[in-house]
Amino acid sequence: MNQALVLLAEQEAPKFIQFLKDEFGRKNPDEPVPTSDQVVAAWKQGLTTSLAKDDSWDANHPATSDAAKTTGD
């Protein structure tokens, strides 16, 4: 279990650090400022992609598989 936690931490650390950099890091002043249309489009695209990942996980893990695993334990 501890090994799994370490592996998970290793796996997630880059995402976590990237999130902090993206969200809170100092921006390059030469970086172009996004327009309103781009910001709205990014939100819509992000929402669609993110919900699709939820749906994909659900599709690959039907609710009945929980009961089967519990019985198996």
Partner 1 sequence: MKCLSRQLVGIIVCAVVIMCAQACANKMPPNLTPQAQHAFVNTQALKVLDLIRDVAVDGNASTPQVFTESSTRKIVAFHRSALKTIDAAGTGWSAAVQQGLEELGKDLPPSEQQVLQPYISLAISALKGFQ
For position 33 contacting partner 1 by CB under 8 A, the verdict is: yes
Residue 62 to residue 34: CA distance in whole angstroms: 40
Chain residues 9-28 in contact with partner 1, contact rule CB under 8 A: 11-12, 15-16, 19-20, 22-24, 27
Do 42 and 34 contact (CB within 8 A), yes or no?
yes
For position 36 contacting partner 1 by CB under 8 A, the verdict is: yes
Query: In Å, how far are 14, 15, 26, 60 from 20, measured between CA atoms?
Result: 10, 9, 10, 30
For position 50 contacting partner 1 by CB under 8 A, the verdict is: yes
Residue 57 CB, nearest distance to partner 1 (Å)? Answer: 5
Q: Which is nearer to partner 1, 30 or 63 (CB)?
A: 63
